[in-house]
């Protein structure tokens, strides 16, 4: 490839991974040993919060009253879109059965997990949309116990709009606890909660590492790093919109990579010239994040043609992938590694993050090479079953006995032998693995 890096990243998303792992592991061990009281200690230390942890109906009602009607309508709009998309996804899987050979029937059942823990970030930003994305999808899947967990603010508690969104989307319990301690509470079943079967939702590096460590004893949506976004743009793209979209994603966090891949040098240089001014125009906290992300993690890559652009994108496998280029159908057909794809200037990652209906919990750090994002399917187990008549089991038993003996697994073979002997007495079967 003939890529030219007009801007390179000084850091990677895993630069401080080891230190984070050790901190998180110690907190999880501490809370598992100390239970509710220890989780409350960490809440007081990190969240500066000592209020009620498990919200009551009265507290939910009071928070709802604080949310402006216009915002309630927006939340309901987004909830309706996410719900309808999740219901459509659910319709793509179903119980099935198949007669493998006459008399031998195998099938699958689709069963939702019982308990889902939904983490909703609420520290620097109140991620109202994350409550909508996670709780709604779990509810559509059919989970019986859904806990929404979000960091409280000192002396205030969880943001009212997050409480409202989690409640109307179907959360059975809302937990005012953030960070590692919140993840631990859902996993270990603290405060009278059911132990989560799966943990979902975005979070900072400490939340992501907690989910990584706990994976195995509990399911997770995916291993997650900092959010990342890539834009593919050609000469037809509007440089102001491209630059604005890059900055909009860089504000997520100081370590959130944003990448521009183009085959037009003039566009690349124009975009790079615009970004600093757009960052300067942001509010203080957002500006700090976007400035650090652009300085340390952003890259601008010049390619020879659109095929090289597509190959570069697939290699980076971004969480969010935007195409602002000619012939959108070509890009849709060609691209294969991304969390969610935004085709054309008329859509943007921000739409998907908030309200279009596709889920915004997506694979980061190149995980899009092997998985998609959160969907109704993540909350559902596809389990299999089989049933047979005696005659239908006959050829299966013969094949099983011979394969098992070839593998050296005599016990497996005898489980088939005993059925043949019972069901077909007097018949001779060649059940050896030899010729």
Active-site positions read 319-320
Round to whole Å and give the CA distance between 333 and 287: 36
Round to whole Å and give the CA distance between 268 and 261: 8
Can you give the length of the chain in residues?
435
Tokens linked to 434: 């030899």
Tokens linked to 103: 């008399």
Residues 232, 338 contacting (CB under 8 angstroms)? no
353-387: burial string, b at 16+ Cβ within 10 Å, e else: bbbbbbbbbbbbbbbbeeebbbbbbbbbeeeeeee
Round to whole Å and give the CA distance between 189 and 182: 11
Strand order in the sheet with 340-343: 4-7, 299-302, 258-262, 229-233, 320-324, 340-343
């Amino acid at each position: 490839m003939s890529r030219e890096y007009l801007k390179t990243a000084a850091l990677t998303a895993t630069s401080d991974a080891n230190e984070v792992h050790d901190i998180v592991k110690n907190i999880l061990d501490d809370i598992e040993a100390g239970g509710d009281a220890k989780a409350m200690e960490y809440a007081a230390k990190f969240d500066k919060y000592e209020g009620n942890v498990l919200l009551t109906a009265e507290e939910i009602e009071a928070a709802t009253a604080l949310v402006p009607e216009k915002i309630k309508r927006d939340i309901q709009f987004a909830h309706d879109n996410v719900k309808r998309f999740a219901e459509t996804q659910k319709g793509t899987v179903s119980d099935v059965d198949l007669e493998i050979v006459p008399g031998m029937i195998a099938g699958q059942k689709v069963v939702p997990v019982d308990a889902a823990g939904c983490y909703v970030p609420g520290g620097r930003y109140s991620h109202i949309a994350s409550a909508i994305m996670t709780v709604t999808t779990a509810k559509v899947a059919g989970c019986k116990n859904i806990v929404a967990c979000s960091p409280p603010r000192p002396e205030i508690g969880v943001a009212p709009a997050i409480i409202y969104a989690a409640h109307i989307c179907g959360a059975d319990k809302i937990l005012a606890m953030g960070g590692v301690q919140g993840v631990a509470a859902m996993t270990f079943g603290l405060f009278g909660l059911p132990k989560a079967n799966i943990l979902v939702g975005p979070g900072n590096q400490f939340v992501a590492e907690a989910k990584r460590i706990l994976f195995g004893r509990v399911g997770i949506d995916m291993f997650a790093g900092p959010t990342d976004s890539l834009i593919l743009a050609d000469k037809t793209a509007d440089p102001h919109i491209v630059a604005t979209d890059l900055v909009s994603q860089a504000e997520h966090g100081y370590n959130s990579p944003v990448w521009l891949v183009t085959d037009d040098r003039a566009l690349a240089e124009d975009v790079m010239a615009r970004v600093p001014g757009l960052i300067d125009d942001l509010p203080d906290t957002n500006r700090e994040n976007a400035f650090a992300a652009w300085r340390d993690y952003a890259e601008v890559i010049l390619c020879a043609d659109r095929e090289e652009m597509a190959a570069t994108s697939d290699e980076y496998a971004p969480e969010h992938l935007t195409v602002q280029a000619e012939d959108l159908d070509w890009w849709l057909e060609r691209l294969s590694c991304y969390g969610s794809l935004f085709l054309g200037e008329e859509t943007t990652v921000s739409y998907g993050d908030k309200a279009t209906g596709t889920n915004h919990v997506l694979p980061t750090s190149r995980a899009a090479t092997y998985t998609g994002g959160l969907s109704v399917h993540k909350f559902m187990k596809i389990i299999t079953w089989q049933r047979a008549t005696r005659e239908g089991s006959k050829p299966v038993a013969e094949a099983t006995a011979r394969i098992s003996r070839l593998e050296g697994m005599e016990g497996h073979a005898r489980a088939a032998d005993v059925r043949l002997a019972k069901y077909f007495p007097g018949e001779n079967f060649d059940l050896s693995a030899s010729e």
